[in-house]
Chains A and B, each alone.
Chain A
Amino acid sequence: MEEADKVHEEAPEPPVLSDNQEDKKGASSFKGKEDPTEEGNEELKTKMQEEKKDVNKRIMSLQKRLTTLVTNIQTAADAKEMERRSGMEDNCRIRDERLKNDAKACQEKVEEIRKGWSIVNQKVVHSELQSVLDSQQQLCAAVIEDKKKLIRDLQQERRVKEDQYLKNLRRLDEEIKLMLDRMQQQFQNLSKAYSEELTQLQGVYQQEIEVLLAKDKAKLDKHMKEHWDTELESLMERRRMVEESEKTVHDVMLENTTKIKLMQLEENAKSQARLREQQQMKGKSVVLNLKQLEHGNKNAAYNAKLEEMKGKILGTSKEVKNLKTKYAKQKDKFMKQRQYLSEVHKRSRQHYERMQKEVRYTTAADARKFEEMWVMMEEEVTQLAEKALAIDSLICKHLGLAWERPSAAFMESPGPRRSQEHDTNPNSHLLQTRHPSHCSQRMMDASVGPSLERDSEHSTGVEEGELSSETLMKVMELLCDETGFLVEDKLRKLLVPMEKNEQTIVKLHSLFAVLGLKEKDLPKLLHEFLLMYERQQGERTEGAEAMENSATADSTSRLIKPNYVLPTLRRFLEQHRKRSSSHQQSSLSHPARDTSVEEAYWDRLGNIITEEKLKLWDAAERELKQYEEVLMDISVLVPETELLRQQNTELRMQLQQILSTVLNSLWLSAEGREKKSRTRKSRPSTTTSSITQCSL
């Protein structure tokens, strides 16, 4: 196939190269070329028929055939080229000869002409010369004509050859097309052949395989059969052999066993003796071994234990180390924290103290301010009251009533505040009511313990109260008995062996703990009970001091009734709770004032002008207002009257003037003028009348 391709490449090329020379036998040679292909086909068929079995050969021959077909074309082209070349050479040769002949003829003629020229030179006569010249001219013309003819011939030849060349080219083109077609056919043939061959090959191989398989199977079966037969035979033989040998073996065994038994018996006896010896030895060695083993075991156990212990110790020491390091770390940490916290605490404390100082200062300042304010207000109020009194007196005077100063003593006396400042303390008795509590507290301090000593120090400066310790004790006992349900049973059992005093004290402690009270509150509580008692006593006694004095004498009768203990306690607790909530503010506030006195004072000041007087004032005001209105009217009318008076005077003046003039002219003028004068006379009369009215 490669060759075919090559041919395909090369075959068309020669025509391109070919000159414009004639190629006469191209067509004929091409025709002649077709014969071998047909032959080839026939041969191919015969070959195929012959060599159907040998596929390889067939394909090879096919390839060969097909390629030879192509090589034939090439050889044909070569042959054609050869012919073309030879033809070209011939043509060239002919042309060369022709040209040579022509050149020779020309030469001859030229020589003739030359000779003629020499004759021309010899000739003298004109006519002769003329004729010679003519002949010369003719000769030249002949030469030229010859040349022209030659040229024409050559040109014609060229033209013919050009046409032929064109035809040749066309023919070549057709041939190429034909060749292409043929090659395609060949391709198809070959591929068809290949496919056929493939199918055939497959079939053949399949058949072959089947045949081979069948053969192999048969062979296998045969061989197997033979093999089995031989095997069976050999097996039978072997069985027989085995049986025989078994018999012999059995005999031999019997003999042997008897021998062996004898031998065994002997050897048994020997071995038993040996065994006995050995066991004795063993016994000894075992005892030794046991001893050693015991030691060894013990040591091993100890060692193991020791190792375990060591391991444990190591572990624990490690743990301890770790813990120590941890502890040190924690310690450092906590130390740092503590330092930090203490600093913070210090700072906060200082801050707190500063705050307290500030608060104290501010409260003091506030109190001072308040009092100053208060005093000022009082002064103002008294001034106002005095003013009011003054006004009142004025009004009374005005009305012509008799006015008395309501209570000069009160007015002269200063306000309660001012009187306080002058150390004439009217509320001192209120403060002194607390003193018994301090006293009782002191008594408590002695019994309860050192925790209350601080409080007792505060109360050192307080004078001894009137309440005796006995009454206090009794009150306390009463309290304890009544509130016994609040004390736990365990405590009560514990308290049984104690003295009565101690019992009450401890019970009180527990009670206070239950009620959420503090020891400070105890005196207040007691005081509450005492007050309660006072109230029970009623208003038959006048002052607290007197009451207390008498209470010392008759303590039992003064004690609170047991039925009232619980309600009072409850009330006290409520109060205490309220107080404790407001304690923080109130504790810092200035000492309490007696508001009632001040209220009275203020009331008195407010009521310095009595209601009746107010009514009087109102009535007087109404009258006065009426009077004022009348006065106002008068005051409006006064300027009018003034104006009218003035006008009157002016008009009087004018009248006098006019009268004087009129008196002069009256005499002269007619009656008409008299009328005018009459109207003028009437006008002044009216004015005078009005003036009189006004004056009225």
Chain B
Amino acid sequence: MRRIIAEDLDWSLATVSSLSNLCLQCIVNNFEEKPIYEELTSSEKDFIQNRVSLSLPLHFAANVFPDGVYWKRRCEQKWKVCDVSNYGESWKRMFFERQLENIIELFVPGITEPKTVLDMVTLCKDHIKKLNIAQLLPPVKEPQTEDEEQATELTLENEDDKSGMDHFDFRILLDKLTNLEELHLVYKVKSCGMNFEWSMFEMTNRDCESLAKALKSCKTLKLFRLHLSHLEDKKCRLLVKYLLDHPSLRTLDFSHNVIGDSGARAIGKLLTKSKLEILNLYDNNIGGPGAKAIAHALSKNTTLVSLNLCLNRLNDEGGQAICKALLNNKTLLHLQLGANGVTWLTALSLSSVLAQNNTLKSINLSCNTLGEVGGNALEEAMSHNTSVTECNIHLTDIEERKVSVINQMVWNNQFRKQETSPREKNTENAN
């Protein structure tokens, strides 16, 4: 008796499991040969989901089990940290998204068979809504002699056209994912160590073209984010060209790239043609002319809600242009012009906007040398404004006193709004 108990921890004399439990256990044991699931009651389904082996082949399990405990178990088996709230509370979606991300991130062009991705896609195309790809591996380079390297340096332009350095081709993937809404991409290699090469953190021209075509084919995409990928003007123009008539794209994020004026011009064109709501060009290389193009588009646009141009080189030329454009725009809520080298001139024009525009909610002018003049202008403008609830004017050489005054006014706006909003809520509830 003792021996039995020692061998089997679950063994117990007292509890003899009921016949139905034994039957269910039997189903669980032979699930792969004879899957009985749909005809069971919900509690029995739970029982099976809790017991079925996690090593079932994926193509089998994907068709049998709906979202539930089984996928939770698989997720927790595979990853330590699982926050299901990021995946719409669906464990199955989480499992498939992360699985597909893993496959793509470890995809080595030329070595990995595209079939592995396609097989996975056929299983999970209905469940994937968001793809967050944190790295894209380049193909394995054969060791080259110095002469060849010199030769390649000389024919750098040509090399771009070679398929040698291309990353994963998204064309085979995106048109099949019928529910994809968000795509986050980074062309980089994680923990490359001493094998560092600049080309690892860039996308090639071919990559760009294939990606652009793939994006065009994906009609459900709402958010596209391509950051830290050394995106240049040329490639930016190419991408934008294909995104011009995209039916569903609402959010575009090109932060931490090297987009210049011509790229900004293309994006300005995109603003006029598409229905973008959020545009993020944080940390790029956009100068005055590019900002003027964006401002021109902004003056005609009626959809854009948020514009982030922080850490560019707009200078007063671009800043003033954007502020003027805001005189005609009634939709933009969030404007960020931090760290752009603008001066009191822009502050003046912005204060004239603030005095009459009551849609803007948040402004960021940090890290600009606005000076006292700018501070005075802003203070006066804010005294007339009631909509701005956030205003970042740190490190702008404005006097502390004025900063605190301006902040006070912003808070007053915020409190007012806070007080009105619960009432609105109450009325909504009453209705």
- Interface residues in chain A, defined as those with a beta carbon under 8 Å from any beta carbon in chain B: 10, 13-14, 16-17, 36, 56-57, 60-61, 64, 68, 71-72, 75-76, 78-79, 81-82
Q: Which residues of the other chain, A, contact B415 by a CB distance below 8 angstroms?
A: 57, 60
Closest B residue to A73 by beta carbon equals B394
B73 → A minimal CB distance (Å): 28
Q: Is A60 a contact partner of B414 (Cβ separation < 8 A)?
A: yes
Q: Is A78 a contact partner of B367 (Cβ separation < 8 A)?
A: yes
A194 CA / B282 CA spacing, docked (Å): 33
Q: Which residues of the other chain, A, contact B311 by a CB distance below 8 angstroms?
A: 78, 81-82
Show 10 A/B contacts (Cβ-Cβ < 8 Å), sorted by A: A17-B228, A17-B256, A71-B366, A71-B392, A75-B338, A75-B339, A75-B364, A75-B366, A78-B339, A78-B367
Top 5 nearest A-B pairs (CB, nearest first) are: A75-B366, A78-B339, A79-B367, A75-B394, A82-B339
Given A13-B228, A17-B228, A64-B414, is A82 in contact with B341 using a C-beta cutoff of 8 Å? yes
Q: Which residues of the other chain, B, contact A10 by a CB distance below 8 angstroms?
A: 255, 282
Q: Is A75 a contact partner of B414 (Cβ separation < 8 A)?
A: no
Q: Which residues of the other chain, A, contact B339 by a CB distance below 8 angstroms?
A: 75, 78-79, 81-82
Q: Is A17 a contact partner of B418 (Cβ separation < 8 A)?
A: no
A82 CA / B394 CA spacing, docked (Å): 14
Q: Is A79 a contact partner of B411 (Cβ separation < 8 A)?
A: no
- Beta-carbon contacts under 8 Å, B364-422 to A: 364, 366-367, 392, 394-395, 411, 414-415, 418
Q: Which residues of the other chain, B, contact A68 by a CB distance below 8 angstroms?
A: 392
A614 CA / B367 CA spacing, docked (Å): 175
Main secondary structure, interface of B, reads loop
Q: Which residues of the other chain, B, contact A36 by a CB distance below 8 angstroms?
A: 394
A380 → B minimal CB distance (Å): 93
A36 CA / B310 CA spacing, docked (Å): 21
Closest A residue to B396 by beta carbon equals A75
Q: Which residues of the other chain, B, contact A81 by a CB distance below 8 angstroms?
A: 283, 311, 339
Given A60-B414, A82-B339, is A75 in contact with B367 using a C-beta cutoff of 8 Å? yes
A497 CA / B310 CA spacing, docked (Å): 157
Q: Which of A17, A64, A76 contacts B283 (CB 8 A)?
A: A17
- Chain B's interface size range is 20 to 34
- Beta-carbon contacts under 8 Å, B199-258 to A: 228, 255-256
Q: Which of A13, A57, A60, A79 contacts B366 (CB 8 A)?
A: A79
Closest A residue to B367 by beta carbon equals A79
B312 → A minimal CB distance (Å): 10
A64 CA / B413 CA spacing, docked (Å): 13
Closest A residue to B282 by beta carbon equals A10
A41 → B minimal CB distance (Å): 15
Q: Which residues of the other chain, A, contact B392 by a CB distance below 8 angstroms?
A: 68, 71, 75
Closest A residue to B422 by beta carbon equals A56
Q: Is B411 a contact partner of A75 (Cβ separation < 8 A)?
A: no
A226 → B minimal CB distance (Å): 32
A13 CA / B310 CA spacing, docked (Å): 14
Closest B residue to A29 by beta carbon equals B395
Q: Which residues of the other chain, A, contact B310 by a CB distance below 8 angstroms?
A: 78
A36 CA / B407 CA spacing, docked (Å): 14
Q: Is A75 a contact partner of B283 (Cβ separation < 8 A)?
A: no
A68 → B minimal CB distance (Å): 8
A8 → B minimal CB distance (Å): 15
Q: Is A76 a contact partner of B395 (Cβ separation < 8 A)?
A: yes
A403 → B minimal CB distance (Å): 113
A81 CA / B313 CA spacing, docked (Å): 12
Q: Is A13 a contact partner of B411 (Cβ separation < 8 A)?
A: no
Given A14-B283, A17-B283, is A78 in contact with B338 using a C-beta cutoff of 8 Å? yes
Contact with A along B304-340 (1 / 0, CB 8 A): 0000001100000000000000000000000000110
